[in-house]
A = this chain, B = another copy of it.
Amino acid sequence: MTARAVAAPLLDVPGPLSKSLLSRLGSQLDSRAVQFFADYDKSHDNFLVDVDGNEFLDVYAQIASNAVRYNNPTVLQASRSEKMVSALANRPSLGVYPRSNLTQNIHRLLRIAPAGHSMVFPAQSGSEANELAFKAAFFYHQIKKRGGPGVSWTAEELDSCLRSTEPGSPTLSISSFRNSFHGRGFRSLSTTRSKPIHKLDVPAFDWPVARFPSLRYPLHDHVDANEREVRCSLEEVDYLMGTWHHPVAAIIVEPIQSDGGDDYAPASFFQGLQDLTKKHDVLFIADEAQTVDLVTFGKKPQTAGYFFHNPLLHPDKPYRQSNTWMGDEARLMICNAVIDGILENGLVEKVARVGKTLYDALEALAEKYPDRIRNLRGRDSGTYIAFDVQEAAKPPMNLSVLS
């Protein structure tokens, strides 16, 4: 993975300077997942340089959290602007005392919203975005059950919710899929099902989990089996939504299950899911794509939130769905600069072109070495391409810890 080891060979990672800093950091916080200390002034393009002068091709893009290259000029320019200086020094509570340019910033953010989604609820992280989306779904479910936004709250509801008991604190659930990752916040963690490292020892809600389709590759050799697999998954979702011992308020799904092993599902699966959410009258939450009820986003945009289109997802009263910061204006401005950088440089088209070249080359290799490159997937998904290996060499620290 090293592109150009400038000073030290890869085995010297972390190098002496990183090691020295690590011993200090270890007394200040849990530094056990730190790989090395980066020198971001020297990092460039997709190459991450560490303090010891090692240079890496950053195929992880931090931890899937960086959308454009290091020191991207458009993003640097936004970071140097006087508007940014004020956004940092005079941080507004966006839900109460926003700056006049908030409408413009949101307008520019909505450039990346799925078609039809005209509104956003901003957040600071993808995990927070998912939890806010769940809260929106619970509000929506209960307000509908109560008879609409005009129906008053009862004294029993108001009193019981302060004791965290029913009916004010209802027993509702969010349905998710095996191997999913929706964050490590508490409510989002109840829907995450990918790895014990995220979940073990943390109390969780008793919520349903269905099978995500596990496709066989190459797709054209397994058409019937894959159709059965999709049907089987949808039937389980249908059964769980109809029979779960708590009402299901929403279902959340990743368009591509990433943390759980880069698993793809066909459009027919998501179409079937949409039909089922309509049948059972529950909301459809997509963790980062699709035209559904709520689309949550985080990481690479540098800010987070959920896009939506139904005004009834505003709860019946103001300040029910709220928090101090409602995202971060500074990070919203960075997000817009990232979008600018992507659009100005035609990166979406470039990723499609490079991804096709990469996929075609991997496909030729997979035909030549079928035992070594298995289940190649991600055609027409840009560079979001994955394959399985028969027996992996012991991975370096970052692989074993992060994937």
Q: Which residues of A are at the interface with B, using a C-beta cutoff of 8 A? A: 17, 21, 24-25, 27-41, 43, 48, 51, 62-63, 65-66, 70-72, 75-76, 78-80, 84-86, 88-93, 95-100, 102-103, 106-107, 110, 118-122, 124-128, 131, 134-135, 138-139, 141-143, 153, 157-158, 161-165, 168-173, 178, 183-188, 190, 193-207, 209, 298-299, 302, 314-315, 317-325, 328, 330-331, 334, 398, 401-402
Q: Known contacts A66-B90, A153-B200, A328-B328; can you find 14 more A-B pairs with CB under 8 A? A: A28-B119, A32-B314, A34-B96, A38-B98, A40-B86, A62-B97, A91-B334, A125-B325, A135-B186, A138-B202, A139-B202, A165-B204, A198-B320, A319-B401
Give chain B residues whose Cβ lies under 8 Å from the Cβ of A197: 317, 319-320
Sample (14) of A-B pairs whose CB atoms are under 8 Å apart = A21-B100, A35-B96, A40-B90, A40-B92, A41-B86, A65-B324, A70-B90, A79-B85, A128-B185, A138-B202, A139-B202, A162-B195, A168-B200, A183-B323
Give chain B residues whose Cβ lies under 8 Å from the Cβ of A34: 95-98
What does DSSP make chain A's interface, helix, strand, loop or mixed? loop
What is the CA–CA distance of A343 and B259 in the complex, to the nearest angstrom?
A: 44
A334 touches B88 (CB 8 A): yes
Which of B39, B319, B324 lies in contact with A32, CB distance below 8 A? B319
What is the CA–CA distance of A394 and B70 in the complex, to the nearest angstrom?
A: 53
What is the CA–CA distance of A320 and B318 in the complex, to the nearest angstrom?
A: 36
Which of B184, B201, B319 lies in contact with A138, CB distance below 8 A? B201
A125 touches B126 (CB 8 A): no
Give chain B residues whose Cβ lies under 8 Å from the Cβ of A39: 99-100
What is the CA–CA distance of A86 and B315 in the complex, to the nearest angstrom?
A: 39
What is the CA–CA distance of A310 and B149 in the complex, to the nearest angstrom?
A: 48
Give chain B residues whose Cβ lies under 8 Å from the Cβ of A122: 29
B99 touches A37 (CB 8 A): yes
> In the complex, what's the smallest C-beta–C-beta distance from A121 to chain B, in angstroms?
6
Give chain B residues whose Cβ lies under 8 Å from the Cβ of A128: 124-125, 128, 185
B95 touches A33 (CB 8 A): yes
Q: Assuming the A-B contacts A65-B93, A90-B71, A203-B205, are A184 and B98 also in contact, with contact meaning beta carbons closer than 8 angstroms in the complex?
A: no
What is the CA–CA distance of A70 and B98 in the complex, to the nearest angstrom?
A: 14
What is the CA–CA distance of A70 and B331 in the complex, to the nearest angstrom?
A: 20
Which of B78, B131, B325 lies in contact with A65, CB distance below 8 A? B325
B85 touches A80 (CB 8 A): yes
Which of B89, B196, B200, B302 lies in contact with A76, CB distance below 8 A? B89
Give chain B residues whose Cβ lies under 8 Å from the Cβ of A169: 199-204
What is the CA–CA distance of A141 and B106 in the complex, to the nearest angstrom?
A: 43
What is the CA–CA distance of A209 and B159 in the complex, to the nearest angstrom?
A: 14
Q: Which residue of B lies closest to A28 (CB)?
A: B106
Give chain B residues whose Cβ lies under 8 Å from the Cβ of A401: 318-319
Which of B103, B185, B203 lies in contact with A25, CB distance below 8 A? B103
> In the complex, what's the smallest C-beta–C-beta distance from A71 to chain B, in angstroms?
6
Which of B118, B203, B318 lies in contact with A33, CB distance below 8 A? B318
A93 touches B63 (CB 8 A): yes
Which of B66, B84, B161 lies in contact with A199, CB distance below 8 A? B161
Which of B40, B90, B139, B323 lies in contact with A201, CB distance below 8 A? B139
Of A33, A88, A89, A205, most B-chain CB atoms within 10 Å: A89
> In the complex, what's the smallest C-beta–C-beta distance from A120 to chain B, in angstroms?
6
Which of B88, B89, B161, B318 lies in contact with A30, CB distance below 8 A? B318
Give chain B residues whose Cβ lies under 8 Å from the Cβ of A98: 25, 34, 37-38
